[in-house]
Chains A and B, each alone.
Chain A
Amino acid sequence: MPPMRPLLELAGGARRLEGPLLFLQRKVEVGYNEAVEVVGDDGVVRLGRVAAVDRERLIVELLEGAAGLDLPRTVVRFPGEALHFGLGSGVLGRVLDGVGRPLDGGPPLPVSCRLRIDGLPLNPVARDTPQDFIETGVTAIDLMNSLVRGQKLPLFSAGGLPHDRIAVAIAGHARLRSARDDQFAIVFAGVGIAHDTAEYFRTSLQDSGALQRSVLFLNLAGDASTQRLLTPRYALTAAEYLAFVEGRHVLVIMTDMTAYCEALREVAGARGEVPARKGFPGYLYSDLASIYERAGCIRGRPGTLTQLPILTMPSDDIGHPVPDLSGYITEGQIVLSRSLDRAGVWPPVDVLPSLSRLMKDGTGEGFTDADHPALASQLYAAYARAAQARLLARVVGEDGLSDADRRYIRFGMRFEAELIAQQQPRSLEQSMRCAWELLAGLPGGELTRLSDEQIARHIAPRAGGVAR
């Protein structure tokens, strides 16, 4: 963080300190939401922002721990602008704390431009439609929920599931199918994560050699919770710089967004705001949108910003406000399943509730394979039918099922064991080949999502005498 130019300084104005809120007597001209530096007697500089202001009073929201501050000796500095982040070339390869200060013992970041951390809304007219298919190597994503550049596609996970490993696998394999030399970069934002998780990401990136084109922002579980409100914003500001100033294709991995939302709830509670659901403030949707909506492509600029946020669903509940509101903002979701994980399936992606909204724009003729969309749709239809048959079998036993239903149950088992589960990253062609094999085990008359021509080309040669 480069030093801000202090314009105004206020000493001895502090009147009250309550949780993350510092109440000051207003003696200076300060605007709403402007940045604040609070310096205690201990010399530690804490970042904050103006949360409310009237003629007499000024309420500062401290974004770092208040411990160690007292009232008479606290000095507050006002740079006269909203929080900014100074960035320049050379930010790649660095490890920073949650507000962009070096943690790796390296020199301060070089600064060639200063960007507002809140960003400004991207004009929908200036957006380019995201349609470059990214091959992640994960069949459940590539084949059935394709990711495209500029998309925001979260992993809905839960405690104990291998979301970190999936994120690392995607970061390591993600590539465009056209073998272009890519200006690829990774921004990793650890929000309230455990030390070992942070260490796992760092060493994995290092081992794969990706650390040189990555920036890490780490707000660990032990750091001030209010700082968590800033970490995604600093990380996204760096990502926007890399994407739209340096012209790179940036993948932003943010984990864990649930910790972010909990920090927001904490601050809202301290402000005495009326809570909406489960104690979260009513503006949680807008606040999350101000983070997620920063993914995209801008017409006429070379770079793109793709987001892969990870959130853990408290008690595996997809209806919890955090996954629920995220799902309404993001362009789909990849949902992990505990029962698949227990069955030893890796990656344990539950495809039925998973979805990629931008898949239609980046797959099919001219993008991936002409038959890709129909194949994905047919797999979904068949697997949903298999799930239904399985439910039926659990009640009445497999003997009570029709022959077709029994074939669907077999299909469902093979689908999980052979298509979803994978040891190695697969190319899209490999995934598709595997999928055609599976579908060939179903009665041909049932494949209503495929055209006659597609059946003749892909299913019939594999099915032998099976298809009707």
Chain B
Amino acid sequence: MSRATTESIAGPVLRARCDGPFAMGEALRVGRAGLLGEVVRLAGDELVAQLYEDTTGVKPGDQVEGLGRPLMVWLGPSLLGGIYDGLLRPLDGLDSPFIAPGERRRPVRRFSFEPLLAVGSPVAPGQPFGRIDGGALDLRCLVPPELAGEIVHIVAAGTYRDDEPLARLRTPAGTERVLAMGHEWPVRRPRPVRHRLPTEAPLLTGQRVLDTLFPVALGGKAAIPGGFGTGKTVLLEALAKSCSADVIVYVGCGERGNEIAGTLAELCALVDPRSGRPLSERTVLVANTSNMPVAAREASIYCGVTIAEYFRDQGLDVALLADSTSRWAEALREVSGRLGEMPGEGGYPAYLGSRLAEFYERAARVTTLAGGHGSVTLLGSVSPQAGDFSEPVTSHTTRYVRSFWALDARRAQARFYPAIDPLQSYSEDAAAVAEWWQRIFAALPGGGGEGNEWVVLRRRVLTLLDDQARLGRMARIVGKDALQAPQRLTLLCAEVLGEGFLRQSAFSPNDRACGAERQAQMLRILGIFLDLGHQALTTGANPEAIAGLPVLRRLQRVGEEIADGDRQAFADLEREMRQSFAALEGRSGSSEEARSDAPDASAS
């Protein structure tokens, strides 16, 4: 291990004179407190490092110790259910409520272990050699990637500490290596896979506007940009609680401490419908709040994605939620500024785009080294300055993600959540998941229609929203009364769609998550409403009469009032709706008012 002596210190940036070779990216410790850092620049015998902790009190002359390896994190089963700082040091079980800089030990936990291999079996890199009971999940002990050979010793089934040697392996070169429940891995290097697979199934988020209009596939990547107060964090938290991934990695990157505390409490209190155990058992929280050291904020994103890849390699579907990638970009900017690098757009370093690309590229659905299938889906929020999507972080992110969920301040102000702007958002994964959705529709009572019902209904909804915006602009010029009946009906339908389908309260016990089947049913019943509305118009009813139907209120409150799996309620609602329209038709034939409106309708 090389040593160096501190020359100067300013903020998180330290310069030191080397007493031996240091490598780029090598991890190091400074002073007696052992502050952790990383080499970011080398020039002659001088090194520049960024430190991940508060540097108050560091002096010229302080000893720097190179660790001979890059920044690494320990990956193992005990990560689940824990909360860690940006360098994956545990935050649980500290004596003081305040976090002091310096080293912290990982608490040791015990798990029941069952060997999957016998002495003499050959093992390949990334192969599971044992099974662990992880509570909510069935986990595997993996041979570290890049290690192969033959098992020369393995323990019997039983309960072991997670740092205990469980097996020994002899490499082809003849050296023996110890295997444990977990292993270390450098955070900045993607973990190897056998090959990448095309995406096909959606990651269900439980949010109708996302799953139906702007789906993200397992192994996909999505960005959630929005100004402050548009509901990014609430949406990400809702996804953490209800999305269909096996493991959730939630990275709170430069965000609020109270919110992290709230998320933590909720995850512990919520029961996972799959296993009946606390949801926190399949969640990993990485918390680097906005007042924690800035350089560790930069590392926290990489730690998060490395954890996600580790669980992916066990054949699991993992969702990584990063809130917010803008704070991460700002950490890059701050360190870059201190290094005196030439600033690019908005003061961000010129390599911002390539760093974002590297990060989002780690999302994938793969065949793992062991031959199983797993995926990492990346969902990152973006906090653009003043809600302006043309700023560098948002505009770069747009180039690398496949799903773009833009949040709209106007909707948020009306407390219309999730405040996804359907006209600015898009998804490139829609085609890939269409077949999956058709299978859901086919399983509904009445079966699937002709063609792909999901694709047809989805397009209809998107067209309706587009028309709404156009007509809204027109109404602002000529007045709503001057619109023709079909146009007024379009506005009415869009309103029903908004209240009854797109809006979904994250705090409603019934509607905080919406299952795929219920989404399909709601979409189908909306389709029926659109058909009936148009039909009624041709037989002479006017849009105002339709707006007055009491059944509309039922339709707008479906999310609140009909639970997942209640097929009867949907059937009842459909019958009630058909009856209402039938009654309307009967009335409008004789009504004076309708007749005066009829030429208007036929004229268009």
- Which residues of A come within 8 Å of B, CB atoms? 26, 29-34, 51-55, 81-82, 118-130, 150-151, 273-277, 282-283, 285-286, 289-290, 293-296, 298-299, 301, 318-321, 324, 327-329, 331-333, 352-353, 355, 357-358, 360-361, 373, 376-377, 380-381, 384-385, 391-392, 395-397, 399-402, 405, 445, 448, 451, 468
A448, B556: Cβ atoms under 8 Å?
yes
B9, A53: Cβ atoms under 8 Å?
yes
Q: B409 to chain A: which residues have CB within 8 Å?
A: 353
Enumerate the 4 nearest inter-chain pairs by beta-carbon distance, A residue then B residue, closest first.
A400-B479, A54-B8, A319-B386, A384-B414
Interface residues of B in 405-456 (CB under 8 A from A): 409-410, 412-416
Q: Judge whether B283 is part of the interface by a CB distance below 8 angstroms.
A: no
Q: B333 to chain A: which residues have CB within 8 Å?
A: 276, 282
Q: How many chain B residues have a CB neighbour from A under 8 Å?
A: 82
A-B contact pairs, 12 of them (CB 8 A): A31-B9, A33-B55, A121-B291, A122-B98, A282-B334, A286-B294, A301-B97, A329-B290, A357-B233, A381-B416, A396-B479, A401-B481
Q: B410 to chain A: which residues have CB within 8 Å?
A: 384
B229, A121: Cβ atoms under 8 Å?
no
Extra 6 A-B pairs, beta carbons < 8 Å, given A127-B260, A321-B385: A31-B58, A122-B257, A123-B96, A126-B97, A324-B227, A324-B386
Q: How far is the CA of A376 from the CA of B83 in the complex (A)?
A: 34
Chain B residue at minimum C-beta to C-beta distance from A80 = B57
Q: A299 to chain B: which residues have CB within 8 Å?
A: 97
B9, A52: Cβ atoms under 8 Å?
yes
Contact of B291 among A33, A289, A468 (CB under 8 A): A289
B557, A448: Cβ atoms under 8 Å?
yes
Chain A residue at minimum C-beta to C-beta distance from B553 = A445
Q: How far is the CA of A352 from the CA of B385 in the complex (A)?
A: 20
Q: B94 to chain A: which residues have CB within 8 Å?
A: 123, 125-126
Q: How far is the CA of A302 from the CA of B507 in the complex (A)?
A: 28
Q: B228 to chain A: which residues have CB within 8 Å?
A: 324, 327-328, 333
Q: A324 to chain B: which residues have CB within 8 Å?
A: 227-228, 385-386
Q: B560 to chain A: which residues have CB within 8 Å?
A: 451
Chain A nearest CB, measured from B410 CB (Å): 8
Q: Judge whether B476 is part of the interface by a CB distance below 8 angstroms.
A: yes
Using A121-B289, A331-B256, A451-B560 as known contacts, say yes or no to A276 and B57 having CB atoms under 8 A apart.
no
Using A120-B98, A124-B289, A445-B552 as known contacts, say yes or no to A360 and B260 having CB atoms under 8 A apart.
no
Contact of B60 among A26, A283, A301, A327 (CB under 8 A): A26
Q: A294 to chain B: which residues have CB within 8 Å?
A: 291
Using A32-B58, A82-B56, A275-B347 as known contacts, say yes or no to A353 and B229 having CB atoms under 8 A apart.
yes
Q: Judge whether B10 is part of the interface by a CB distance below 8 angstroms.
A: yes
Interface residues of B in 468-514 (CB under 8 A from A): 475-482, 499, 505, 507
Chain B nearest CB, measured from A190 CB (Å): 23
B262, A285: Cβ atoms under 8 Å?
no
B261, A129: Cβ atoms under 8 Å?
yes
B480, A125: Cβ atoms under 8 Å?
no
In the complex, which of the residues B264, B386, B477, B550 has the most CB atoms of chain A within 10 Å of its own CB atom? B386
A402, B480: Cβ atoms under 8 Å?
yes
Q: How far is the CA of A122 from the CA of B256 in the complex (A)?
A: 11
Chain B nearest CB, measured from A366 CB (Å): 14
Using A124-B83, A289-B291, A329-B256 as known contacts, say yes or no to A380 and B476 having CB atoms under 8 A apart.
no
A52, B10: Cβ atoms under 8 Å?
yes
Q: B8 to chain A: which residues have CB within 8 Å?
A: 52-55
Chain B residue at minimum C-beta to C-beta distance from A31 = B57
Q: Judge whether B330 is part of the interface by a CB distance below 8 angstroms.
A: yes
Contact of B290 among A53, A293, A401 (CB under 8 A): A293
Q: How far is the CA of A121 from the CA of B290 in the complex (A)?
A: 9
A276, B346: Cβ atoms under 8 Å?
yes
Q: B385 to chain A: which residues have CB within 8 Å?
A: 277, 319, 321, 324
Chain B nearest CB, measured from A251 CB (Å): 16
Chain A nearest CB, measured from B107 CB (Å): 13
Q: How far is the CA of A332 from the CA of B413 in the complex (A)?
A: 12
Q: How far is the CA of A32 from the CA of B259 in the complex (A)?
A: 32
Q: A289 to chain B: which residues have CB within 8 Å?
A: 254, 289-291
Chain A nearest CB, measured from B283 CB (Å): 14
Q: B55 to chain A: which residues have CB within 8 Å?
A: 32-33
As a 0/1 sequence over residues 243 to 266 of chain B, the CB contacts with chain A under 8 angstroms (1 = contact) are 000000000101011111110110
Q: How far is the CA of A283 from the CA of B332 in the complex (A)?
A: 11
Q: Judge whether B402 is part of the interface by a CB distance below 8 angstroms.
A: no
Contact of B480 among A150, A352, A400 (CB under 8 A): A400
Chain B nearest CB, measured from A275 CB (Å): 7
Q: How far is the CA of A42 from the CA of B553 in the complex (A)?
A: 78
Q: Judge whether B282 is part of the interface by a CB distance below 8 angstroms.
A: no
Chain A nearest CB, measured from B39 CB (Å): 18
Q: A122 to chain B: which residues have CB within 8 Å?
A: 97-99, 257, 291
Q: How far is the CA of A353 from the CA of B410 in the complex (A)?
A: 9
Using A122-B257, A150-B258, A289-B254 as known contacts, say yes or no to A445 and B294 having CB atoms under 8 A apart.
no
Q: Judge whether B587 is part of the interface by a CB distance below 8 angstroms.
A: no
Chain B nearest CB, measured from A299 CB (Å): 8
A127, B383: Cβ atoms under 8 Å?
no
Q: A81 to chain B: which residues have CB within 8 Å?
A: 57
Using A124-B257, A286-B334 as known contacts, say yes or no to A355 and B229 having CB atoms under 8 A apart.
yes
Q: A402 to chain B: which residues have CB within 8 Å?
A: 480-481, 544
Contact of B56 among A31, A329, A333, A448 (CB under 8 A): A31
Q: How far is the CA of A55 from the CA of B83 in the complex (A)?
A: 40
A54, B97: Cβ atoms under 8 Å?
no
Interface residues of B in 64-112 (CB under 8 A from A): 83, 91-92, 94, 96-100
Using A129-B265, A332-B229 as known contacts, say yes or no to A384 and B413 having CB atoms under 8 A apart.
yes
Interface residues of B in 330-353 (CB under 8 A from A): 330, 333-334, 337, 343, 346-347
Q: Judge whether B61 is part of the interface by a CB distance below 8 angstroms.
A: yes
Q: How far is the CA of A445 from the CA of B477 in the complex (A)?
A: 27
Using A296-B257, A331-B258 as known contacts, say yes or no to A123 and B499 having CB atoms under 8 A apart.
no
Q: How far is the CA of A277 from the CA of B384 in the complex (A)?
A: 12
Q: A376 to chain B: which residues have CB within 8 Å?
A: 415
A123, B7: Cβ atoms under 8 Å?
no
Q: A361 to chain B: which residues have CB within 8 Å?
A: 262
Using A124-B289, A329-B256 as known contacts, say yes or no to A381 and B261 having CB atoms under 8 A apart.
no
Q: How far is the CA of A391 from the CA of B291 in the complex (A)?
A: 41
Q: A51 to chain B: which residues have CB within 8 Å?
A: 10
Q: Judge whether B387 is part of the interface by a CB distance below 8 angstroms.
A: yes
Q: How far is the CA of A120 from the CA of B257 in the complex (A)?
A: 13
Q: Judge whether B327 is part of the interface by a CB distance below 8 angstroms.
A: yes
Q: Judge whether B59 is part of the interface by a CB distance below 8 angstroms.
A: yes
Q: Judge whether B548 is part of the interface by a CB distance below 8 angstroms.
A: yes
Chain B residue at minimum C-beta to C-beta distance from A317 = B386
B258, A32: Cβ atoms under 8 Å?
no
Q: B227 to chain A: which residues have CB within 8 Å?
A: 324, 327
Q: B478 to chain A: which residues have CB within 8 Å?
A: 396, 400
A128, B330: Cβ atoms under 8 Å?
no
Q: B386 to chain A: which residues have CB within 8 Å?
A: 318-320, 324
A125, B92: Cβ atoms under 8 Å?
yes
A32, B261: Cβ atoms under 8 Å?
no
Q: A151 to chain B: which residues have CB within 8 Å?
A: 258
A120, B100: Cβ atoms under 8 Å?
yes
Chain B nearest CB, measured from A112 CB (Å): 19
Q: B264 to chain A: which residues have CB within 8 Å?
A: 124-125
Q: Judge whether B287 is part of the interface by a CB distance below 8 angstroms.
A: yes
Q: A121 to chain B: which residues have CB within 8 Å?
A: 98-99, 257, 289, 291-292
A34, B9: Cβ atoms under 8 Å?
no
Chain B nearest CB, measured from A306 CB (Å): 11
Chain B nearest CB, measured from A70 CB (Å): 26
Q: B9 to chain A: which residues have CB within 8 Å?
A: 31-32, 52-54
Q: How far is the CA of A290 from the CA of B337 in the complex (A)?
A: 19
Q: B208 to chain A: which residues have CB within 8 Å?
A: none
Q: Judge whether B170 is part of the interface by a CB distance below 8 angstroms.
A: no
Q: How far is the CA of A239 from the CA of B175 in the complex (A)?
A: 60
Q: A333 to chain B: which residues have CB within 8 Å?
A: 228-229
Q: How far is the CA of A357 from the CA of B232 in the complex (A)?
A: 11
